[in-house]
Amino acid sequence: MAKQGYHHGNLRQALVEAALSLIEAQGPQGFTLSDAAKSAGVTPAAVYRHFAGRDDLIGECARQGFLIFDEVMERAYDGGRPTPLKAFEATGRAYLDFARAFPGHYKAMFESGLQASSVPGLADAARRSGSVLMRAAQALADQLPESRRPPAAMFAAHVQAMSHGVVELYTRGAPGTRSPFPPEELLETGIGIYLRGLGLLPADH
């Protein structure tokens, strides 16, 4: 059934919502502009009043996704409360929660292959969303002696790689990737091992 966003005067967002549904079902490369137009209930020509092409439409889906992701991560981090460690762990869980709750956005953000510089506002939104994890990593790194303190950017990149890996392998239900453990447990255990190796967790944590 075609979406009715256009009839409410917001064709641009109706096309974004249509594209998100298609991306969720078929992946970023699995649909055409004509498919998005049909889903939104408009002609293909109408799409070009708002988007230069399919990549531009997917880029807007990604841009909006990064803004939502930033809100989710900020809420989880909660200004570093109750402790830097607890807040840091909460951001890892929030990563998985976002991927589950916004699969179309997530795929547009991380699986479309778009260059961030190719879509206005996309690079800024991506940087903004990454700042929460950077602050969380910096707060923990600051608790280590300077001689064995990893750069916060490396710290954040390691944890993002773990989070992204768990999402890609164990939250999509892809054939051959079923895990005997819940994704949250896999991620928290992995982060725990990493933090213990840095000396930020006691051996029995």
Is residue 43 domain-shared with residue 73, that is, in the same domain?
no
Is residue 176 domain-shared with residue 120, that is, in the same domain?
yes
Q: Is residue 116 part of a domain?
A: yes
Whole-structure pTM value: 0.86
Domain boundary among 33, 51, 69: 51
CATH number of domain containing 133 = 1.10.357.10
Q: Is residue 205 part of a domain?
A: no
Q: Is residue 63 part of a domain?
A: yes
Q: Is residue 43 part of a domain?
A: yes
Q: Which domain does 162 fall in, by range?
A: 59-198
d(CA 70, CA 200): 25
d(CA 53, CA 33): 7
Is residue 150 domain-shared with residue 105, that is, in the same domain?
yes
Is residue 29 domain-shared with residue 72, that is, in the same domain?
no
Here the tokens at position 68 are 């939502």
Quote the pLDDT of residue 118: 81
Is residue 33 domain-shared with residue 85, that is, in the same domain?
no
Listed residue (122, 133, 124) closest to 98, CA to CA: 133
Is residue 63 domain-shared with residue 156, that is, in the same domain?
yes
Is residue 184 domain-shared with residue 84, that is, in the same domain?
yes
For residues 88 and 160, the answer to whether their CB atoms sit within 8 Å is: no
Q: Is residue 68 part of a domain?
A: yes
The single-letter DSSP state of residue 2 is -
Q: Is residue 69 part of a domain?
A: yes
- How many of the other CB atoms lie within 10 Å of CB of 101? 11
Is residue 73 domain-shared with residue 156, that is, in the same domain?
yes
CATH number of domain containing 37 = 1.10.10.60
Per-residue pLDDT of the chain (205 residues; tens, 9 = 90+): 344 444 445 899 999 999 999 999 999 999 999 999 999 999 999 999 999 999 999 999 999 999 999 999 999 999 999 999 899 889 989 999 999 999 999 999 999 988 888 888 999 999 999 999 999 999 998 988 888 888 999 989 999 999 998 888 877 655 556 667 888 898 999 999 999 988 887 665 5
First-to-last C-alpha distance (Å) of the chain: 51
Listed residue (143, 132, 9) closest to 73, CA to CA: 132
With 0-12 / 13-18 / 19 or more C-beta atoms within 10 angstroms meaning exposed / middle / buried, residue 193 is exposed
The number of distinct structural domains making up the chain is 2
Is residue 37 domain-shared with residue 71, that is, in the same domain?
no
Any idea which residue has 């991506």 for tokens? Answer: 126
Is residue 164 domain-shared with residue 117, that is, in the same domain?
yes
Is residue 112 domain-shared with residue 135, that is, in the same domain?
yes
- Which stretches within 27-176 are classed as H helix? 33-40, 44-47, 54-77, 84-101, 103-110, 122-141, 152-170
d(CA 143, CA 195): 12
